[in-house]
Amino acid sequence: MMSDAPALPSETLITAIAALLADVRHVAVGASSPMPAAGAMLRQALDEQTRHVRLSILGSVAHNFFTNGSGELFDCAGQGRIDAFFLGGGQIDGQANVNLVGAGDYPQSKVRWPGSFGSAYLYFVVPRVILFREEHSPRVMVEQVDFISAPGVSPPDVYRPGGPVALLTGKALFSFDKTRPGFTLVSVHPGETLETIRDATGFDFDHPDVVPQTPAPDAATLALLRGPVLDKLQETYPAFAENWRRDLAAQTQHC
Amino acid sequence: MLTNVDSLVDRLRDGMRIAVPVDYAGVAMAFTRPMIARGLRDLDLVCVPTGGLQVDQLIGAGCVRSVETSAVSLGEAGGAPRFNAAVKEGRIRVIDATCPAVHAGLIAAQKGSPFFPMRGLIGTDVLRNRPDWKVIDNPFADQGDPVVLIPAIKPDVAIFHAPMADRAGNVWIGRRRELAPMAYAATDTYVTVDRIVDDNLLADETTAAGVLPALYVSGIAHVPQGAWPYGLWGVYPADTDALKRYAAAARTQEGFDAYMAATETRKEVRA
C-alpha cells in the first residue's frame, strides 16, 4: 500500500512545518502555499485528540471562516488572534529581511516579482512567522536583499510583537535569533551537509559542531499525511494533491 | 440603473482613478475589452488590494498610467507578463503598497476622514518609496511610538462583479465585504452581476445583511459569468487553464496583441 513507501522529501518538509507550529492556536496560510497549508493541516490532525487548532487558509472555502472580506485577515492579525503565518520571498537575507518586489534597482527592477502583499504588516504583528522557500540557492539566500518588503528586525521603539522564528528551505532548517540578529542551522535534510548548505547560502550563519538531519515522519505521521491531510488538501490545492499521489505511486512501484 | 456594459464604459474618461478588486472577490472581466476598445488612456488603477488579469490586460493595451497595488500576479498561472514588462521598461508608474494599507486608505475615505493610522511598515522600502505616507509619533503613547498614516483613497470609479442585484439597484456582495468600502470611497460604482432577481434584496433579512445598497451604486449591467476566466465566490470556480493560456500568450507584446485580437469572446477562448 501507499503508506508503506518511505517518506518523500515533501513529506519531510511538511512534517518539519507541523513541528514549527507546535502549540499554536490559530495559523493562517496565504495564497499559493500548498506545503504550509499541508503542514498546518498535519498540526491540526496531530493534536486532534487534545485540542482544536484553528486554520485560515486563503483560497479555501472549507478552511476559511472570515466574513469581512480580504481585510479581515489583517484585522485579525492586528488584534493578536493569529499566532503563526508563512512568508516566502524572491530574496531572503541573513538579517531575515524579505524581498517580494524585485531584483536590481527599484522601481525599474531587472526582474519584477508580484509585490509585497501583506508582508509589510503581518511580519510585524504575527508572533511566529515561518519563512518558507523551497529554492535554496545563492540567488535567493542573499547577503542583503535589493528591496525590503518587510524587515527581519526593528529598532526598540517600533511596535513589533511579531517576526521571524525560522527559515525552512528545500535543503535545511534554520532558527532565527533577533538579538544577534542572524540564523542558526538547526538541521539539514537527507542528502545535504554543512558544506552543501554553505555553498547554497549567500549569507553567514551559525551552526552546531555536529549538524543533525531533519527527522523524517514516523509511521503514524505518514498515515495522517497520506490519509486525512492529503484528502483535505485536495479541496484547495488539487494539482499539488494529484502530484503528491503520483509521487507516492511511483515510489511504491520502485520498492 | 440597469443598463449594459458599453453604456457604463461610456461614462469612463481618460485619467480616471479606478479601483478594482482582488482576483477572488469578483473581477468585472466583462468591462476589460470594452475599456480597451474605447481607447481609454492614462488610467490610474487602484488594486484592492492586489491585481491580476484585468490589470495586466489594461496595461498591455496601453490604457494605464499608474498602478497602486500590493501585488500583481496571475496566481497559479504565474507572474503578470505585461505588468512585469511595463515596470521593467518604465512605461507605467508602480506605486507599491501592502494589502492592509490599501484597505486602510479606503476605510479612511469611507469614514470621511483624511487618513487612517496603521502598524507595521516602519523600516520597509515600501514606506521609503511612499512620500504620500507620513510617520507621526503616536500622541497617546507615553514614549516614542512611530505610527504610519495612510491618506484616504478616493477613486473616481469602482468596478466589480457580484452574484446578483435586484431591480432597485441593490447589489448582493455577501461575505466579500471589501467591495463595500470600495464603493463607499468611490464617486461612482459600476457593477456587473451574474443575475438580476425580481424580489427586493432588502426585503429579506437573510440577504439584506449582505447587500450593498443602491445608494452607493451608479450603474449595473447583467452579464452572466462576467468574472470569467476568474471565478465568482460560491457560484463558479476560476478557469485556471484559460489563465494559463493567457499567461503563455502574453509573454511578449506581439503575443499579447495576437491573443487580444484573436479571442474576441468568452466562448471562442473556451473552445
Residue A5 has pLDDT above 90, yes or no: no
Distance CA B184, CA A26 (A): 32
Closest to B192 in 3D by CA, of B228, B235, B237, B226? B226
How confident is the prediction for chain A on average, in pLDDT? 95
Which among A59, A78, A109 has CB closest to B24?
A: A59
Residue A140: domain span? 2-254
Residue A9 has pLDDT above 70, yes or no: yes
pLDDT at position B270, please? 38
Q: Is B175 on the interface with A (CB under 8 A)?
A: yes
Residue whose C-alpha cell is 507546535:
A22
Euclidean distance between the first and the last CA atom of chain B, given in angstroms as a whole number: 34
Distance CA B116, CA B149 (A): 6
CB-count burial class (<10 Å; 0-12, 13-18, 19+) for A195: exposed
CATH number of the domain that residue A125 is part of: 3.40.1080.10
Which among B73, B89, B99 has CB closest to A74?
A: B99
Helix/strand/coil for B152: coil
pLDDT at position B75, please? 87
Residue type, B113: S
Enumerate the β-bridge partners of residue B3: B221
CATH class of B2-97+154-270: alpha beta
The whole-number average pLDDT for the span B227-247 is 92
Which among A112, A114, A148 has CB closest to B125?
A: A148
For residues B16-35, one letter each, b for 16 or more C-beta atoms within 10 angstroms of the residue's C-beta and e for the rest, the string is bbbbbbbbbbbbbbbbbbbb
Over the stretch A219-228, which tens digit does the pLDDT of each residue have? Answer: 999 999 999 9
Over its C-alpha atoms, chain A yields an Rg (Å, rounded) of: 18
pLDDT at position B106, please? 98
Distance CA B97, CA B243 (A): 25
| Tally of domains within chain A | 1
pLDDT at position B1, please? 87
pLDDT at position A125, please? 98
B109 with B152: CB under 8 angstroms?
yes
Is the confidence metric ipTM above 0.90 for this complex?
Answer: yes
Contacts of B92 in chain A (CB under 8 A): none
CA distance A219 to chain B (A): 32
Distance CA A199, CA B13 (A): 55
Contacts of A157 in chain B (CB under 8 A): 143-146
Q: Best of B24, B122, B124, B184 to disrupt the A interface by mutation (most A CBs within 10 Å)?
A: B124
B258 alpha carbon, distance to own chain's centre: 25
List the Cα angle B163/B166/B171 in 5-degree steps: 50
Size of the A and B interface in Cβ pairs below 8 Å: 148
- A74 and B100 within 8 Å at the Cβ level: the answer is yes
- A115 and B96 within 8 Å at the Cβ level: the answer is yes
Contacts of B98 in chain A (CB under 8 A): 116-121, 149
Q: Is B131 on the interface with A (CB under 8 A)?
A: no
CA distance B247 to chain A (A): 14
The whole-number average pLDDT for the span A14-25 is 98
Residue B271 has pLDDT above 60, yes or no: no
CA distance A164 to chain B (A): 14
Residue in chain A lying closest to B144 (CA): A157
pLDDT at position A58, please? 83
Over the stretch A38-57, which tens digit does the pLDDT of each residue have? Answer: 999 999 999 999 999 999 99
Residue whose C-alpha cell is 470556480:
B237
CATH 3.40.1080.10 maps onto chain B at: 2-97+154-270
